[in-house]
A and B are shown apart, each in its own frame.
Chain A
Amino acid sequence: MENKLYVSMSPHIHGGDSISRKMWDVIIALIPALLVSLYFFGLGSLLVTSVSIASCVLFEYLIARFLLKQESTLRDGSAILTGLLLAFNLPSNLPLWIVVIGALVAIGMAKMSFGGLGNNIFNPALVGRVFLLISFPQQMTSWPLPKPFNLHYLDAATGATPLSVMKSSRFDRLPDMLDMFIGNTGGSLGEVAAAALILGGLFLLIRKVITWHIPVSILLTVYIFTGILRVANPEVYADPLSHLLTGGLMLGAIFMATDYVTSPMVKKGQVIYGIGIGIITVCIRVFGSYPEGVSFAILMMNGVTPLINAYCKPKRFGEVKKK
């Protein structure tokens, strides 16, 4: 008996939390928005999402197995999540081969080449999306219009999105606020359903997967910044609420910017990061040449994150103030 005792240092118990618990919680939180998307974009949404997830999982498996010769890390669910998030950022009429390229860039370039989950600097799904946006600007910026149980895929009817309407300051053509809230507008397949995304966000808050700091600081910054512009010149600038409900802002603020690996770790740093994303987003939307700036804003702040981590230290217990 004596020699069989297991000796290790304290603590001898673990709280039982795991990466896969956190990842699966995020996946669950995305399901309401996925259902809304399936309703409004139909077949296209289903195809793009399935192909995106399948290719992310496949690429991660192949790269881990044959290039890095590591144990497979699929069990943690992070590849599935990346696939799902990538799909959420794509139009539902995107040709599937482009989706596969996006998945390859997200997993191969943005994640595995840094050493896998935890070592990447930039959000993999967003790197995939931005790569596609630059390489296939046309396909990436023609969004289908919502139509319940749409069975058209590549040939779905496309049209203007609220963001492009806002860009041209034709506010009378903006869809109804309620439609924007429930997701009955054009846009990338997972970003339109603000209500469902907020629901998912609440779930993540309750499950303590995320805290309010990042989403709230982003949304508040956008609201205040666009509010000031609106007051300054209502002819040119859209109202702040439309800004909050359109484009990838909700998806970005709740799901993309809160990615653990690429966001700051200390709460104070998270607020700085969120404010940064908010400001850059509005600048691109209002003053830049793209109608949408959330992805770029998050990626830029991802790049600043190591710096924020280095300077934003938690409050130390019993810190002695230096005079």
Chain B
Amino acid sequence: MRTFSMGGIHPPENKISAGKAIEQVPLPAQVAILLNQHSGAPAVPVVQRGDRVKTGQLIAEAAGYISANIHSSVTGKVLKLDEVYDASGYRCQAVIIEVEPADEWTEEVVLNSTLKRDCTLSPEEIIQKIKEAGVVGMGGASFPSHVKLSPPPGTKPEVLIVNAAECEPYLTSDHQLMLEKGMEIIVGTKITMMALKVNRAVIAIENNKPDAITLLERLAIPYSQIDVMPLAVHYPQGGEKQLIEAVLGRHVPSGALPVVTGAIVLNVGSIFANYEAVQKNKPVIDRVVCVTGKSVKKPGNYLCRIGTSVQDLIDFAGGMPDSTAKVISGGPMMGKALINTQVPVTKGTSGVLLMDGNEAHRNEVYNCIRCGDCIEACPMGLEPYLLMSLSELSEWEAMEKECIMNCIECGCCSYVCPSNRPLLDHLRVGKFKVGAIIRGRKNQ
């Protein structure tokens, strides 16, 4: 079974919500739609306080190339433009909308769920539709998809890799999406291949999802250019560089764009969004979010509108257990601990994980005993123990030499350290500082 070669870990999978059918969450009373749901510049609002907006209507426009459109996920009245806390704990601009109980969709959206296989659009038209629909990476990083689909001149994509590894423990939303929307995903893959002008695609799935593998293999039979590739369970396989290595056996050179290996990687959720955007004219206004955790009453995979608060989701999943000590947006390895549950769901929210005090507890930190476990676990071949001490000493230059910018913040180092050292906390600080220094140098 294929996987990537360096480092990585095998945390307990805890896929509690696996196999739970996707359930629609009722419309909330109010949504808060963040303007910075993607990496790049925040979108610029095109609606005003008091406006009535329809479901699917553009409410904020991409600001520049690396940015994405944002649409209203509900029908209702714009109450205000306000700052709310995002998952990272920053206050960010959001459009707050009071929700009317019945959806009124914009005219162009096709509402039936009949599968539409054929697509006769040109690659440019496909990318344009994906761009208009505001599709971004739905696995968490939220990079605008139209940018990914337009690789810089001089590079030549050869293969589309659909990232369906879902290597984070607990998370199951991609898995369930594949089970219920398998055909749409195959068509979405085909369309995305057309946009990229490539004649090969690989849907990469970790083999803890055998049902999804079997299903997609069967559905892909008529499409000879699409392969389904099972991968060994191995975190962080969903990392772009790790996935390319697992699938193609090629390493993305340090500092280069992944496309130099010939691969373009898109998350399976984004592939589904591409399908809806191109075949159904539907912008990204909802997504599947799994609500999970050992003490959650009704763990499951919930289809909810963008802008729904995490609290509404938790309520739908049976309410917040009293023992809850930590609420995480995303998985336990790379997710973000929320400062409150009013934080809204964004296009990149793959799951909401509730942890009790025991699970969330961080153990006492001891001296580094130089066991080297962090080095062995690092998928990027770094020396986390060294980078942490350099970060503590503010040795930014030395950190740059030790390749801090290659760190993908996967957390494997902190996960394995027997001394419970918060390696990644310190590495992030260093990466931030070194990144700023490098940018400063370039601007000179």
A266 within 8 A of B: yes
**Which residues of A from 85 to 129 have beta carbons under 8 Å from B?**
115-119
Q: Which residues of chain B are within 8 angstroms of A11 by Cβ–Cβ distance? A: 332-334, 411, 414-415, 424
Interface-facing stretch out of B38-46, B53-61, B155-163, B372-380 = B372-380
Q: Hey, which chain B residues are within 8 Å of A15, CB to CB?
A: 9, 11, 415-416
Complex interface: chain B residues within 8 A of A206 (CB): none
A13/B169 contact (C-beta < 8 A), A6-B325, A118-B369 known:
yes
Indicate which residue in A5, A261, A314 contacts B326 across the interface (CB closer than 8 Å).
A5
B381 near A315 with CB under 8 A, answer: yes
Within 8 A of B (CB), among A111-159: 115-119
A259 to B: closest C-beta gap in Å: 9
- For B169, what are the chain A residues with a Cβ–Cβ distance below 8 Å? 13
What is the predominant secondary structure among interface residues of chain A facing chain B?
loop
Which residues of A (1-25) have their CB < 8 Å from a CB of B? 1-15, 17-19, 21-22
A residues in contact with B338, CB < 8 Å: 5, 7
**B383 lies within 8 A of A17 (CB):** no
* Set of chain A residues within 8 Å of B353, measured between Cβ atoms: 12
- What is the chain B residue whose CB lies nearest that of A315? B381
B406 and A316 within 8 A (CB) = yes
With beta carbons under 8 angstroms apart, the residue of A8, A22, A119, A319 that contacts B371 is A22
B121 is an interface residue with CB less than 8 A from chain A:
no
Distance of A1 Cα from B420 Cα, bound (Å): 28
In the assembled complex, the CB of B403 is this many whole angstroms from the nearest CB of chain A, namely 6
The verdict on B194 contacting chain A, using a C-beta distance below 8 Å, is no
Whether A17 and B335, one on each chain, are in contact in the complex, defined by CB atoms closer than 8 angstroms, is: no
Residues of A within 8 A of B330 (CB): 10
B337 and A317: CB pair below 8 A?
no
Nearest A residue to B242 by beta-carbon distance? Answer: A317
Q: Decide yes or no whether A320 CB sits under 8 A from chain B.
A: yes
**Which residues of chain B from 157 to 177 have a CB within 8 Å of any chain A CB?**
169
B interface size (C-beta, 8 A): 68
Q: How large is the interface on A (under 10, 10 to 19, 20 to 34, 35 or more residues)?
A: 35 or more
Partner of A260, one of B369, B416, B417, B424: B369
- Tell me if B219 is interfacial: C-beta within 8 Å of chain A: no
| Residue of A with least CB distance to B325 | A6
Chain A residues lying within 8 Å of B339, measured Cβ to Cβ, are 5, 7
The answer to whether the Cβ of A239 comes within 8 Å of any Cβ in the partner chain is no
Q: A320 touching B254 by the CB < 8 A rule?
A: yes
Q: Is the CB of B6 within 8 A of A117?
A: no
Q: In the complex, what residues of B have CB within 8 A of residue A261's CB?
A: 369-370
By the criterion CB–CB under 8 Å, are A314 and B411 in contact?
Answer: no
Contact A13 B418 (CB under 8 A): no
In the bound complex, what is the Cα–Cα distance between A155 and B359 (angstroms)? Answer: 57
Residues of B within 8 Å of A207, CB to CB, are none
Residue of B nearest to A21 (CB): B418
Report if A1-B326 is in contact (Cβ < 8 Å); known contacts: A317-B379, A318-B406.
no
Provide the residues of chain A in CB contact with B367, threshold 8 Å. Answer: 115-119
Contacts of B424 in A (CB 8 A): 9-11
CA distance A115 to B370 in the complex (A): 14
Q: Is the CB of A13 within 8 A of B381?
A: no
Contact (A266, B375) CB under 8 Å given A12-B360, A316-B380: yes
Bound Cα distance from A6 to B323, whole angstroms: 12
User: Could you tell me which residues of chain B, from 243 to 280, have a CB within 8 Å of some CB in chain A?
Assistant: 251-256
When C-beta atoms are compared, the residue in chain A nearest to B169 turns out to be: A13
Q: Is the CB of B382 within 8 A of A14?
A: no
Q: Given the complex, which residues of A lie within 8 Å of B251, measured CB to CB?
A: 317-318
Chain B neighbourhood of A315, CB < 8 A: 6, 381
Q: Which residues of chain B come closer than 8 Å to A19, judged between CB atoms?
A: 366, 369, 418-419
Mark B335-374 against chain A: 1 for CB-CB distance below 8 A, else 0. Answer: 1111111100000000001010101101100111111110
CB pair A14 B254 closer than 8 Å:
no
Q: Are A118 and B419 in contact (CB under 8 A)?
A: yes
- Are B371 and A317 in contact, with the CB atoms below 8 A? no
Give bound CA distance, A21 to B9, whole Å: 18
A residues in contact (CB < 8 Å) with B: 1-15, 17-19, 21-22, 73, 76, 115-119, 260-261, 263, 265-266, 313-320
4 A-B pairs closest in CB distance: A11-B411, A118-B367, A265-B372, A316-B381
**Interface residues, chain B, with chain A CB atoms under 8 Å away:** 6, 9, 11, 89, 169, 241, 251-256, 320, 324-328, 330, 332-342, 353, 355, 357, 359-360, 362-363, 366-373, 375, 378-383, 385, 403, 406, 409, 411, 414-420, 422, 424-425, 428
